[in-house]
Amino acid sequence: MSWQTAVALRIGRWVAVGSALTLSGVTLAEEVVSSATVADVIVDQDGADGEVDEYPITEADRDHWSFLPITRPRLPDWVGRATESIDSDWPRNEVDVWILEELRARSMTPSDEADRATLLRRLKFDLLGLPPTAEEVADFETDRRSDAYERLVDRLLASPDYGRRWAQHWLDLARFAETDGFEHDKTRAEAWRYRQWVIDALNQDLPYDRFVSLQLAGDLTGDPADAVATHFCLAGPDMPDINEQTLRRHDKLNEIAATVGAALLGLQVQCAQCHDHKYDPVSQADFFRLRAIFESSVPEMKRDRAVDRLAAGAAMSEPRLYHRGQLDRPGPVVRPAPPRVVSPVGVPTGFEPQAGATAGEIGAEPRAAFTRWLFRDDNPLPARVIANRIWQHHFGASLCGNPSDFGLIADGPSHPELLEYLAAELRDSGWSLKRMHRLLVTSATYRQAGFDRAGSGSEDEETAFARSVRLDPGNQWYGRSTRLRLEGEVIRDSLLAVSGELNAEAGGPSVRPPLPPELVDTLLKRQWEVSERKADHARRSVFVFARRNLRYPIFEAFDRPDAGASCARRDRSTTAIQSLLMLNSDLTFRSAVRLRDRLLREFADSAGPYRPEELITRLFVITLGRRPSGEETARLVDVFTGGDEHADENPDQTRGERLLWVCLAVLNSNEFVYVD
């Protein structure tokens, strides 16, 4: 069914449904209500004080690709059979099979594999968020074992820096910051514990179903460490100082439901806060039922008091639908339940009303029931959504247009079979995220070159790369690697790493590196107290204090989100501010100075005199993970030496100054802030 047809049905339903058809006194037992019953009538699953007036969910509503059950796709007929095509042996795993199927359909072939230095740099940034060291470059280029690449992948996935890299992707989704936002932007003293929980969970390869379940209901396990994870639900902006604390709680519950819908289900349910969703089969009652799952676990708000984790039984208010979403217009009582369109068998376990229960009660803690429902085999959304997100971060683009919107009018997947395979593989392999990373980065698709080393070819012999660029300029079909700019956090960490300044200490409260005075002046007093230990100023960016009202300069310049809402995909802007910051900031200049000093120390310790060409080569390997070309070497040696006939009375000082400008130039190159 096309999205135009779906929208027409939705609009027609608004016109046709004048009053709700209800069945009073019906008890919905576990998995006994047929999909036909749910589709054909509007069941009164809710409470007294008025009836919920909503349209029924039909089979046509559920006949959308994202709501259908996950089925492992059958491989194309050509797989495993001898063919005349030269690329029939190209696939390394099933990821490549589905990529090659789409390329063949468009008369395209994959590009050549990237060289080892490029692959190492790509992998290290993707998995750890750090540049490769000179020693790693040398070791990988000389490792001739047949499984050298796979060994490298396994070593990187086992590194504790993996969690520090991938935690930031999740923190973007969780709208994580360590302050409330708004006018006073007060600090949340314990927020850093949630960030550390995410890092540790990822490093331990906590299965994704467990990873999510603890963030929704970790307080129910009895382990205080698990309760920290529920900060996910409350991590968004807050306004503790307002007079209307009931409104504060109302807004917080709405925001929790919206975040859970977008981040975990890929549904923009927030559109149904005030009215039925205009396009997707999500009614206003669906939204408030989803919100009701968290109603009893968000405590009653008190002025100037932060709430940083959920607690069962923290509040006794009855969950209701609010007309037009307004707190002063309460409607019928609703019972906790997930969106109906993703529950074709009726009310999932734990959500059905029990005999003798009052209007707002259910038979079990609703968050526990919700986590069970999320990862049932007949719920296709969580697996599809997270598999798509992991693909996005490795390949630069989502298989779907918006990674947090799998609704009717959103772009469907460019590679439907590939997304199905990834979702099925993730679910069937125990929800291991590291296993999914390994599958993607060991594919031939991931290993393709990001530029054409062979040139465009003759008029009669166009290279696969050049053909991919011509036929698919946006690289939608993955006939080559996509050149990607690094995030601000990774650029900062890279500057610190290549200069030898990066502090590898992990854990603990956040640090505050110095800020320019003009930025400090925009804050209230004591809102950015610089960390006393200078070594803390060079810790990894994930440990830098995350303030909503003022992002660290290099992070803001390179498109870090403001943590006001769940961010599924960062912008990738190109602005003059970015270039000016890299050229003129204290961070870049200090890194260039220390990089220069590092090089001079290394060569001062070497036996005998050194050639300038050797120094330039070492500079490139440290910063760019490769050796320079002859032309690059000649130009930079000329800058470094200044021409011997023009040397002044203090040649050592002159060369030191010139080497500083060479280092600064390389740190400001596109290649330093881009991968491939």
pLDDT digits (tens, 9 = 90+) for 414-426: 999 999 999 999 9
Task: Give residue for tokens 């992070």.
Answer: 555
Do 593 and 565 lie in a common domain? no
Band (pLDDT 50/70/90 cuts) for residue 230 is: very high
Note whether residue 534 is domain-resident. yes
Q: Indicate the residue type of 121.
A: R
Question: What angle in degrees, to the nearest 10, is found between the helix axes of 488-498 and 586-604?
Answer: 30
Cα gap 468→463, rounded to integer Å: 9
The tally of domains found in the chain comes to 2
Note whether residue 658 is domain-resident. yes
Q: Helical H runs in 400-530?
A: 416-428, 433-441, 464-471, 488-498, 517-520
Note whether residue 37 is domain-resident. no
Backbone dihedral region of 198: left (phi > 0), alpha (psi from -120 to 50 degrees) or beta?
alpha
Note whether residue 601 is domain-resident. yes
Do 566 and 602 lie in a common domain? no
Show which of 573, 599, 616 is a domain's final residue.
573
Q: Does residue 458 register a pLDDT over 60?
A: no
Picking from 32, 129, 52, the residue whose alpha carbon sits closest to that of residue 496 is 129
Please give the residue range of the domain that contains residue 610.
586-675
Mean pLDDT of 349-371: 72
Band (pLDDT 50/70/90 cuts) for residue 81 is: low
Mean pLDDT of 558-582: 96
Do 618 and 555 lie in a common domain? no
The whole model's pTM is what?
0.90
pLDDT in tens, 176-212: 999 999 999 999 999 999 999 999 999 999 999 999 9
Q: Does residue 82 register a pLDDT over 70?
A: no
Do 562 and 632 lie in a common domain? no
Do 491 and 560 lie in a common domain? yes
Cα gap 431→203, rounded to integer Å: 14
Note whether residue 30 is domain-resident. no
Mean pLDDT of 286-312: 95
**Cα dihedral sign for 180, 186, 190, 195?**
positive
Note whether residue 11 is domain-resident. no
Band (pLDDT 50/70/90 cuts) for residue 89 is: confident
Do 567 and 598 lie in a common domain? no
Give the pLDDT of residue 26.
27
Show which of 573, 608, 630 is a domain's final residue.
573
Do 522 and 600 lie in a common domain? no
Band (pLDDT 50/70/90 cuts) for residue 591 is: very high
Task: Give residue for tokens 């990066």.
Answer: 502
Do 550 and 612 lie in a common domain? no
pLDDT in tens, 102-152: 999 999 999 999 999 999 999 999 999 999 999 999 999 999 999 999 999
Do 567 and 615 lie in a common domain? no
Note whether residue 627 is domain-resident. yes
Q: Does residue 375 register a pLDDT over 50?
A: yes
Note whether residue 526 is domain-resident. yes
* Pair of tokens at residue 253: 């519950």
Q: Does residue 351 register a pLDDT over 80?
A: no
Kind and range of the H or E run holding 462: strand 461-462
Q: Does residue 44 register a pLDDT over 60?
A: no
Do 593 and 651 lie in a common domain? yes
Show which of 511, 543, 573 is a domain's final residue.
573
